[in-house]
């Protein structure tokens, strides 16, 4: 289990380090202004779909359905064709009506800003069909217990964007955003290329060739399987994507705030997403095939062994991350971003938003773990219900907190809704199962560790205050 987790984690870490370099360069070259807001808006919608697809939702429905299918090749090609055609149609619509798409993403922007944003939204959206193909192929790599390609391929997007920033250095802000937008598309093409190469290397191409060859002859034999897949897919997507929709909602509402609010949310969320992806998402991706296999054979005890190990691993590592991110939010933001066009006031605003996001790190991360149990048992409907309540609470809280707390209120609303989602997920998982995982011995060690780590962080903060 831990080998797969660390493979994913190191790949994600490599990508996030490059992503951090990219964000440092973006903050230095563009700062937090209308053009950074426009780029983050343009990249927000395809990136939202990337996270929904790539971070488990698609795999958690497709992989069990693929495993159970009696005609795996034809079933795979059918799902590929249906989804790819729908996504290409959506991409075409966005490119035909970019102003309407831009207005839908950032309803608070005025007409002039929408006009500026429209061409960038159209370009960035071409990333969506590319990343769907990447996710589709990565599912087969997971089926073969091959995680490295997908984990490290995400770095290619950041390499493309860093290259775009270097090439556009010194140009007008609008030109920099054009280069970044095309860099997004190039990054998607690079990710797709390495996944196709991995598919070829693992001798999976015959699966797709066979599906194409026999598609017309056998497509009617998979009607029952595809109907079952569709019934499970949309609840799974909805249930597994609350954090992504919450972040999208934050950006949407932030378009009504002062210039720079979207950028503050983006930079803070990037820091928040690092431990979430590095540990919680990496763990859920690695753990899901094993838990699903044991539950399929009604071996709950072995599945619980994995859940127990993963829970304590995530509890410790995410708690350390939460304390570090909250107590050192100003120092982290200043160290990472305060240079060039990113000023001291931008640091203050971003660090407050980061603190509010960090409150939700532990519940969001643990929710990922316990939701696995629901998906492995094909209880996507329950997960969707939890997501609906979570998102609903986020909307209410965001509207209540946006005026008094501005961008920080949106981040706090997201965190509180994450806590609500965690409580509901644990209840669906089973309160008794959850308490069976809890150990008094581990709790004592956990409490002492958190206290000691908090004291170390406070001392470090005082020491850094003399140097920063």
Digit-coded pLDDT (tens) for 238-284: 766 666 677 777 777 887 887 778 889 988 988 998 898 888 887 88
Mean pLDDT of 28-50: 75
In a domain, 446, yes or no: yes
pLDDT, greater one: 3 or 237: 237
**Residue 363, pLDDT score:** 95
294 plus 272 within the same structural domain: yes
The whole-number average pLDDT for the span 363-390 is 87
The pLDDT, as a whole number, for residue 28 is 77
For the cut 70, the answer to whether the pLDDT of residue 52 exceeds it is no
Domain-ending residue, one of 187, 213, 239? 239
- Does pLDDT of 332 surpass 90? yes
The per-residue pLDDT for 399 is: 93
Residue 7: inside a domain, yes or no?
no
The answer to whether residue 285 sits within a structural domain is yes
Are residue 227 and residue 353 in the same domain, yes or no? no
What average pLDDT does range 16-41 have in this prediction?
Answer: 79
- Same domain? For 58 and 173 the reply is yes
- Which bin fits 461, alpha (ψ -120 to 50), beta or left (φ > 0)? alpha
Element counts in the chain: helices (H) and strands (E): 23, 0
Q: Is residue 9 part of a domain?
A: no
Answer yes or no: is pLDDT of 335 > 60. yes
- On the question of pLDDT at 203 being above 70, the answer is yes
The verdict on residue 214 lying in a domain is yes
Task: Kindly state whether residue 467 falls inside one of the protein's structural domains.
Answer: yes
Q: Which of 239, 255, 284 is the last residue of a domain?
A: 239
Whether 316 has a pLDDT exceeding 90, the answer reads yes
158 versus 19: which is more confidently predicted? 158
- pTM, full prediction: 0.73
Using the predicted structure, report yes or no on whether residue 151 has a pLDDT greater than 90: no
CA nearest 61: which of 136, 134, 129? 136
Verify that 180 and 314 share a domain, yes or no. no
- Distance CA(30)–CA(282), nearest Å, equals 31
Instruction: For residues 67 and 111, state if they share a domain.
Output: yes
pLDDT exceeding 90 applies to what percent of the chain?
Answer: 35
Q: State whether residue 202 is helix, strand or coil.
A: coil
Pick from 194, 171, 167, 193: which is nearest to 182 by CA? 167
16 part of a folded domain: no
- Mean pLDDT over each residue of the chain, to the nearest integer: 85
Are 279 and 350 within one domain?
A: yes
What is the reported pLDDT for 8? 64
Predicted local confidence at residue 439, as pLDDT: 78
Residue 106 and residue 66 in one domain = yes
Higher confidence at residue 428 or residue 51?
Answer: 428
What pLDDT is stored for residue 1 in this prediction? 54
Q: Which residue has the higher pLDDT, 59 or 156?
A: 156
| Domain match, 233 and 369 both | no
5 and 147 in contact (C-beta within 8 Å)? no
pLDDT in tens, 81-96: 988 998 899 899 989 9
- Provide CB contacts within 8 A for 94, sequence distance 6+: 101, 121, 122, 125
Domain shared by 232 and 332, yes or no: no
Per-residue DSSP letter, 107 = T
**End of a domain among 202, 218, 239?**
239
**Domain match, 230 and 257 both:** no
What would the mean pLDDT of 369-395 be, rounded to a whole number?
Answer: 86
Q: Does residue 3 lie within any of the structural domains?
A: no
Domain count, the chain: 2
Distance CA 138, CA 54 (A): 8
Average pLDDT over residues 347-364: 95
For 147-185, letters b (16+ CB in 10 Å) and e give bebbbbbbbbbbbbbbebbeebeeeebeebbbbbbbbbb
The residue-averaged pLDDT of 453-467 equals 84
User: Would the pLDDT of 233 be above 90?
Assistant: no
Query: Where does 202-240 have alpha helices with state H?
Result: 205-213, 215-218, 223-239
**Once rounded to an integer, what is the mean pLDDT over residues 373-390?**
84
User: What per-residue confidence (pLDDT) applies to 239?
Assistant: 67
If asked whether residues 49 and 175 sit together in one domain, one would say yes
| Cα three-residue angle 215-219-221, rounded to 5 degrees | 135
Domain range for 130: 33-239
Same domain membership, residue 325 and residue 202? no
* Cβ–Cβ under 8 Å, residues 42 and 182: no
């Amino acid at each position: 289990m831990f080998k797969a987790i660390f493979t994913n984690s190191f790949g994600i870490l490599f990508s996030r380090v490059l992503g951090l370099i990219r964000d440092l360069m973006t903050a230095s070259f563009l700062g937090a202004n209308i053009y950074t807001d426009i780029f983050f808006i343009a990249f927000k919608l395809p990136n939202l779909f990337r996270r929904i697809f790539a971070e488990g939702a698609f795999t958690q429905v497709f992989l069990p359905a693929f495993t159970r299918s009696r005609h795996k090749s034809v079933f795979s090609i059918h799902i590929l064709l249906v989804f790819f055609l729908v996504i290409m149609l959506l991409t075409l619509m966005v490119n035909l009506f970019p102003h309407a798409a831009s207005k839908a993403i950032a309803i608070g922007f005025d007409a002039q800003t929408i006009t500026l944003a429209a061409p960038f939204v159209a370009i960035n959206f071409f990333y969506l069909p590319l990343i769907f193909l990447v996710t589709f192929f990565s599912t087969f790599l997971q089926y073969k217990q091959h995680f490295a390609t997908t984990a490290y391929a995400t770095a290619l997007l950041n390499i493309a964007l860093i290259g775009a920033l270097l090439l556009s250095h010194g140009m007008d802000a609008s030109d920099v955003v054009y280069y970044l937008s095309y860099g997004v598309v190039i990054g998607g093409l690079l990710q797709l290329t390495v996944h196709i190469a991995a598919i070829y290397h693992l001798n999976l191409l015959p699966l797709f060739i066979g599906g194409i060859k026999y598609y017309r002859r056998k497509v009617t034999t998979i009607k029952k399987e595809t109907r079952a897949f569709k019934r499970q897919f949309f609840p799974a997507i909805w249930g597994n994507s609350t954090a992504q929709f919450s972040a999208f909602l934050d950006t949407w509402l932030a378009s009504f705030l002062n210039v720079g609010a979207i950028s503050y949310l983006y930079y803070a969320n990037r820091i928040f997403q690092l431990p979430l992806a590095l540990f919680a998402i990496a763990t859920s991706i690695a753990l899901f095939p094993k838990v699903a296999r044991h539950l399929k054979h009604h071996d709950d005890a072995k599945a619980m062994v994995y859940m127990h190990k993963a829970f304590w691993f995530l509890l410790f590592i995410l708690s350390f991350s939460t304390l570090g991110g909250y107590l050192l939010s100003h120092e982290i933001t200043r160290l990472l971003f305060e240079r060039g066009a990113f000023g001291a006031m931008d640091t203050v605003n971003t660090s407050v938003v980061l603190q509010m996001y960090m409150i939700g790190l532990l519940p969001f991360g643990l929710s990922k773990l316990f939701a696995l149990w629901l998906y492995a048992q094909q209880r996507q409907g329950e997960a969707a219900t939890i997501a609906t309540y979570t998102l609903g609470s986020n909307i209410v809280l965001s509207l209540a907190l946006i005026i008094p707390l501005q961008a920080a209120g949106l981040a706090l609303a997201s965190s509180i809704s994450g806590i609500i989602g965690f409580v509901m997920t644990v209840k669906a998982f089973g309160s008794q199962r959850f308490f069976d995982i809890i150990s008094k011995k581990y709790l004592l060690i956990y409490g002492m560790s958190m206290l000691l780590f908090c004291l170390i962080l406070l001392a470090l903060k005082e020491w850094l205050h003399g140097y920063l």
